[in-house]
Structure 1
Amino acid sequence: MGSSNLVFGVLCLLGNIVVTLAKSNRDICSPDTLAVYRIKMDSHWYKNSFPKQYPTSRPPAQFSRLHGIVHNSSYILWREGLEATPEVRLIAEKGSGEILEQRKGVRDVFAAGRILQGVGMTETIFYSDAKHTKVSVISKIVPSPDWFVGLDSIELCMNGYWLNNLTIEAGPIDAGTDEGFTFTAPNWASEPQSPISMITSKNPSHPANSFYYPYLNELPPLVTFHFIKERVYRANNKRLCFGPKHKKSKFSKISTVVVPLPDSTSRTLHKRLHARRIYKKAASEFNNWKISGLSLE
C-alpha cells in the first residue's frame, strides 16, 4: 500500500488489552466496507499456574467449542451483572448448544473447535460490517459447574477505523446458574439465578472454590484472545447486501468475501451456510465491485 494512504498508527496498552490500529484511508469503517477477521483463543490453563484441584481426568482440563456472534449495540450475548440467557446457561453448564437464531442487531454467527487440554489454541474466521462492529464470544471451562471464558461486545471499529490487531487476556466467569464451588461439583442449580460475575483470586471468597488463591492479587490469565484483521473489502457505488433476500449482492469475488465457516461449525447453521452459497452464485452474474483496503502489515 502506498504511503500516501497512511494516516497514522497507534499502539495502546490498556491493562490486559493490546490494540494495534494502523490507520489508512482504505481502513475506514464506512457503510460500503466488509472486514474479515481471524479470531484465535490461546488457553493457558497450566497446572503450575492453577495447581488447586487441577483436573487431570474424567474429564481433564479443557475448553468447549468457542461460540461467537457479530452484532451491534442493541444485542447482548452475556454481560457481567445480568442474568444468563437460556442459551448462555446451556453453554456454560453443558458446553453444548448454539447461538443460532437470526436476531435483531446480529450480522454473523461463528464457532471454533474445542481445546482438548488445558493448554492449546483454536481459531476461526468471521466478518463484520460498519453497522455491526461488535463481537462477543463464550467457551465453557471443562470441567466446571457453570464457568466460562468469554468477551462481551468487543468493538472492532475504533475512531472510525477497523482495528488491525487486538489482544485481550481473560479469566474465568461464573454464569450464576449453579451453586457449585469446585471443578467437579455435582449439579446444584441456583435458585433464584444469580447475575453473571467475574471469578477472581478472592471471589467467591470460599476456601473450597477451585480458583480461590487469596495470596494472589489477581489470577493469571486463563486464555488470550487475538483478533487479526485479514482484509477489508469495499463496494463500488453500491450498497452491501446480505442474506437470502438480497440474491443480487454484487461482489466480484464473493467466494472470498463471504468466508465459509470451518468444519467444526455445527450443522444447525444450515440456513446461514445456504445464504452464503447464494452469495457465491450471485457473484457469477455481477462483476462491478472492486476489492480494496488490504490489511496493513
Structure 2
Amino acid sequence: MTTMFPRFLKTRMAPLGLAVSVAVMAACDGSETAGVVTPDPEPEPPPPVAATTARYRVVFEATWSASTHPTNFPGGAHFSPLIGAVHNAGVTFWARDGTATPGIETMAETGGTSTLTAEIQAQIPGGALAVVNGSGIRSPGSTTIQAIALRADFPLVTLVTMIAPSPDWFVGVSGLSLRDADGNWIEELEVVLYPYDAGTDSGPVYTSANNDTQPKEPIRNLRGESPFSDEPIGTFTFTRTDG
C-alpha cells in the first residue's frame, strides 16, 4: 500500500495541475477582451425626405441692348409684363417647333396677357397650379417676382415676355423643372435666354407693320439671325427662398 499511494496521487494530480495551468493561461491571454460584448453598430440614419413644397424668387435680368444686338436696335426697347404658370407635365403652354396658341400669339405680338392667363386658368385644377405674373421693364434692366409656390406634383414653370417692339418675338422658358434627377428642389438655377419667333407674324424687323402669317409657322429660336446677334437677351435666375 505504501508503494502504490504515491503513484495514485501522482496520476490524479497531474491532470488537475494541467487544467489549472490552462485556465490561468486562458485568463491571462487576451484578458483585455475577455467578457467584453461588442455592441452592434449604430444603424444608418434614413435619407432625408425631399420637401413636398418650395418657394422661389425669380429675377429677370434683361441684357438686350444696342451694344449686344446693334443691328437696327429700336428706340424704347422694353419687355412686356411677365406671364406664365406653375404646372405639371400634363400640359404644355408653348414649345420650340410647336404652334403658338392664341395666348402665346397675343403675348408675342402685343404683350397682352389676358388670353394666355385664360388658357392657364382653364387648366386649373388638373394640369396647372397657378398663374405667374411679373412686371414689364425697359431693356437693359431688371425685375423680380418675389414668390412662386411649387409642389412636388406641380414642379414645372413656364414664363414668357414679349420683346418690344417686334412683330412676334419673345423670350421665356417652357416646362422648366425646379427639381433635380433625385427629386430634390434645386437651390438656384440660372437660365440664359435667347429670342424666339412665335411664327404668327412675318415682319422682318423690330418695327415692321402687322403681317399675319398664314398658316402659322413653328416657334423657332432666332439666336444669331438678324436683327439679333449671337448674344443672349437676358437671364432668368430662380432662387429657392424656403430651403
Pick the TM interval, shorter chain.
Answer: 0.7 to 0.9
Aligned to 1:171: 194
Q: How do residues 67-86 of structure 1 correspond to structure 2 at under 5 angstroms?
A: 67-86=83-102
Q: Structure 2 length as normaliser, TM-score?
A: 0.75
- Equivalent residue for 2:65, pick from 25, 29, 46: 46
Give the partner amino acid of 2:227: S
Matching of residue 228 in structure 1 with residue 235 in structure 2: no
SS of the residue corresponding to residue 88 of structure 1 reads helix
Q: How do residues 116-265 of structure 1 correspond to structure 2 at under 5 angstroms?
A: 117-124=138-145, 125-158=147-180, 159-202=182-225, 209-211=226-228, 213=229, 219-231=230-242
Q: Structure 1 length as normaliser, TM-score?
A: 0.62
Task: Give me the whole-angstrom Cα distance separating, in 1, the residues matched to 2:69 and 2:87.
Answer: 34
Give the partner amino acid of 1:122: T
1:167 positional shift: 0.3
Runs of 4 or more off by more than 3 Å in structure 1? none
Percent of pairs with identical residues: 31
Matching of residue 88 in structure 1 with residue 104 in structure 2: yes
Query: Alignment RMSD, CA only?
Result: 1.5
- Give unpaired runs (5+ residues) of structure 1: 1-6, 8-23, 203-208, 214-218, 232-294
Task: Give me the whole-angstrom Cα distance separating, in 2, the residues matched to 1:181 and 1:85.
Answer: 21
Deviations 1:113-170 (A, max 9, x none): 011x211111112110010101011100000000000001111111110110000101
> In terms of Rg, which structure is larger?
2
Q: Which has the higher contact order (CA 8 A, sep 6+)?
A: 2
- Equivalent residue for 2:77, pick from 32, 51, 61: 61
Task: Give me the whole-angstrom Cα distance separating, in 1, the residues matched to 2:134 and 2:219.
Answer: 23
1:25 positional shift: 2.7
What number of residue pairs does the alignment pair up? Answer: 190
- Give unpaired runs (5+ residues) of structure 2: 1-45
Task: Give me the whole-angstrom Cα distance separating, in 1, the residues matched to 2:83 and 2:55.
Answer: 17
Task: Give me the whole-angstrom Cα distance separating, in 2, the residues matched to 1:97 and 1:113.
Answer: 11
Task: Give me the whole-angstrom Cα distance separating, in 2, the residues matched to 1:72 and 1:180.
Answer: 34
Deviations 1:45-65 (A, max 9, x none): 121111110112xxx110001
